Structure 1
Amino acid sequence: MNNKILILLILLTTTLTGCWDVSEPERMLYINAIGIDFKDGQYEVYAQIISFANIAKSDQPTSNQPQAEVGFAKGKTEDEAIFNLYRSIDQKVFWGHFSYMVISDEAMKNVKFSPVIDGFIRYGETPYKVWVYTTKGPVQEVLLVKPVLNKAITLSKLGDPENSFKQESFIEPLNFRELIIRMDEPSHEAMIPLITVEENWESMNESIKAPVISGVGVVTPSGFKGFISGDKARGIQWMTNKTKRGQVTFESDGGHDVTMVIEKVEVKVDPIVNKEGVKFDIDVRLNAAVSTVEGKVTYDSLAKGIKKEVEKEIMVTYEEALKKDIDIYHLSEQLYRKNVKAWKKYHIDGKVELTNDSIRKLTVHIEKLDSDRKSIKETIKNK
């Protein structure tokens, strides 16, 4: 009896060995990034495929072979373009390592944003932590940029933006999950980081192109509202508690340029509702450290300069956004969360009407101001 049971168990275990329906890793190709463009009424899709064999177990590639190659196809819909791309791919494609998406300005302007991401988030392999960017230049140029020092492409600024954001918090990274949340909440607008490609690095052999965060493109579920970039976008970083580190540069009382490092930001927005409508009081609290000084300065003059510059940058960005009907600081959401009754009264499609006078009071406080050294005097004095 025992022998019969043993033979039966052996026969049963033979059916459990192996994974019959699993693809072998070496017989698959891995999507790292996707570029979406729109021309002549058709979607143009660019797919960046990476070689894990070249970067496995190392943050530095071990050979001179290219880390990535970019394929291209087009179609009447995004899905049709992707299926047309499959026709030229040698192996099965795996989407579980999909890291980021770049969308052209033409796609932003000509198609609704929801269909652009729907095809990806409804597919089981696609993670929600896919970073989203936009660009005014060719999307394929962004996908072909190599990381500085030829680091692993999976650790590039676009594939791993949180790391560099801790050091310089100009524009907060945005992923699929946060994008969907922003579209769903008042004022139903999302700020997508704007990428430009600049040739601002050099190696011993060649100039190197690098992606640069230069501003934001603002989208809604129904369309595109425009770009805010350069100095006109600088106020964004001072209106979010997620800012880790930034800088302000201004002219001191002595006529010299001074740079201060901002290391902590706390923002409080209070909606003020009265018979005239809704206005907002904004309180911004900062910690700052002296970075670059020239000439004689005092802590009081530095604090005054920081407050003046931060207030100016916040208002410049706000006024630029108003020209494009953008609620850049999500003031409508603040009213929704703190006084939903007033929000229901004043909102139109989730957004409260804003004017130049909607910010009733803007106050910047310097909570802590110090220097990494014992004093704020110049290290080397001019004779």
Structure 2
Amino acid sequence: MKKITAFFICISCLLFLTGCHGHRSIQDLTYIVAIGIDYDLDKKEYIVYTQSIDFMNVAKQEGGRQTEPIPNWIGIGRGKTIYLALSNLFPKSQPPLFLGHLKAIIFSETILKHKFKEIISDLGRNETFRYTVNMFATDESLEKILSQNVLFHYPPLHNYLSRNTIGSGDTDFIQLMTGKMIVSNYYKPIGSVMIPSFGISEHTWKSDGTYPVIYTKGAYFFQQKKYKGFLKMDQLKGFIWKSQRPFKQTLPIYRDGDLIAVISVFNPTMDIKVREQSLFPTFDIHANVQASLVEKRENISFSELHEETSKSLKKVIFDTYEHGFKRKLDIFNLGDRWYRFHRHHFKAFSKSNPSAFYLKKNALKNIELEVEFTNFNSFKYNHHQQNYHD
């Protein structure tokens, strides 16, 4: 009797257990991994582009790389708000759209210039757009950006929009920026905000014909909620030093206009110190970096190599500062330490100069740089004599 009673109790309990009713299989949803947002100034409406991937094709990567091109699925919706534009896509999408795997949001240059403050405010009010999503910008066609595959027919999931870093190995790259990082810096009373920018290279790779690929074009900047424009990668060579995280960058070393060596630099550190507390603040930068000799174009001693490398790297940092200053942009966030640890001076400055930019042209007084060579490849140097030996 006890066994029968226990059996009926178990059966009764099973009736209250939840099952998989309503659960959708992977093939029953359209997974959005990236969204592009543009604005039509004439019609005063938003244009939203969505990039979807076929998870069945992604699964095939386990057994080897795809040999056939992976189709890109691009959705386009319009509306007076972002959500209205997205909502216009939902009734026209079969299988239904799913935004839970959103990895990236790309803004057009028009958005940055005219609607960025509204955009980040609107996105923050909806749980669909998490602040952990990476954000980018471009002056290229958003539809074209989202339509690009990477080399060897990898699907869009493997492209820049879904990576954890921009670039890898021996390439110039800048820090990925999440929505949280951008918003927190955007509203600060001091310092700059960087948004990485993509471009499309049409003639770097070829297959049966030209093979367009996405590359890091540069970055857009804001300072104290004001749009400050775009800087190319060549103008940002010193900017990646402030990230203080592992990177590797190859640079030419010149002396009197002649190329004397090619080096790789890595593992940088940068310390910013407030130097003076007069009306406008001034700063010193102390940086350390390790270097490796890649090519030697002239017969130079170790001391000459070290000296010219130090000069070149200082110039890289100072030139980046200058490019920012021309746009009234604190590209190294020099003022952050001033704002944090000299608050009384910052408040006095803000009160007497409410609309003035806190950096003067000579605000960066000194750059101290320590370079440690860790590898000379096949070139031999005697560090004690500081002479070159074949």
TM normalised by structure 1 equals 0.89
C-alpha distance in structure 1 between counterparts of 2:257 and 2:329, whole Å? 38
Counterpart residue type for residue 157 of structure 2: T
Shift of 1:125: 4.9
Contact 1:269–1:334, Cα closer than 8 Å, also in 2: yes
Shift of 1:295: 2.4
Q: CA 1:77–1:151 in 2, change beyond 3 Å: closer, same or farther?
A: same
> Match of 2:295?
292
Contact 2:263–2:293, Cα closer than 8 Å, also in 1: yes
> Match of 2:377?
372
Contact 1:252–1:297, Cα closer than 8 Å, also in 2: no
Shift of 1:351: 8.8
> Match of 1:355?
360
| Superposed CA RMSD | 2.7
Q: CA 1:64–1:127 in 2, change beyond 3 Å: closer, same or farther?
A: farther
Shift of 1:65: 5.9
Contact 1:165–1:172, Cα closer than 8 Å, also in 2: no
**What aligned pairs does 1:314-329 form with structure 2 within 5 A after superposition?**
314-329=317-332
**What aligned pairs does 1:65-214 form with structure 2 within 5 A after superposition?**
66-113=70-117, 115-162=118-165, 164-165=167-168, 167-187=170-190, 189-214=192-217
Which segments of 5 or more consecutive residues in structure 1 lack a partner in the other structure? none
Shift of 1:328: 0.7
C-alpha distance in structure 2 between counterparts of 1:34 and 1:349, whole Å? 38
Which segments of 5 or more consecutive residues in structure 2 lack a partner in the other structure? 383-389
Does residue 15 of structure 1 match 2:16? yes
Counterpart residue type for residue 218 of structure 2: G
Shift of 1:4: 3.2
C-alpha distance in structure 2 between counterparts of 1:369 and 1:351, whole Å? 44
Q: CA 1:351–1:280 in 2, change beyond 3 Å: closer, same or farther?
A: farther
SS at match of 1:304: helix
Of 99-108 and 303-312, deviating more is: 303-312
Shift of 1:80: 1.1
Contact 1:111–1:223, Cα closer than 8 Å, also in 2: no
C-alpha distance in structure 2 between counterparts of 1:373 and 1:248, whole Å? 18
Of 303-312 and 72-81, deviating more is: 303-312
C-alpha distance in structure 1 between counterparts of 2:329 and 2:257, whole Å? 38
TM normalised by structure 2 equals 0.87
1:316-359 CA deviation, whole Å, 9 max, x = no partner?
22222122221111112121233233233324789961111111
What is the number of residues matched between the two proteins? 377
Q: CA 1:306–1:170 in 2, change beyond 3 Å: closer, same or farther?
A: farther
C-alpha distance in structure 1 between counterparts of 2:259 and 2:368, whole Å? 25
Shift of 1:223: 4.1
Counterpart residue type for residue 268 of structure 2: V
Shift of 1:151: 2.3
Shift of 1:212: 1.5
Q: CA 1:16–1:61 in 2, change beyond 3 Å: closer, same or farther?
A: farther
1:110-150 CA deviation, whole Å, 9 max, x = no partner?
1133x324554544454433221111111111111111112
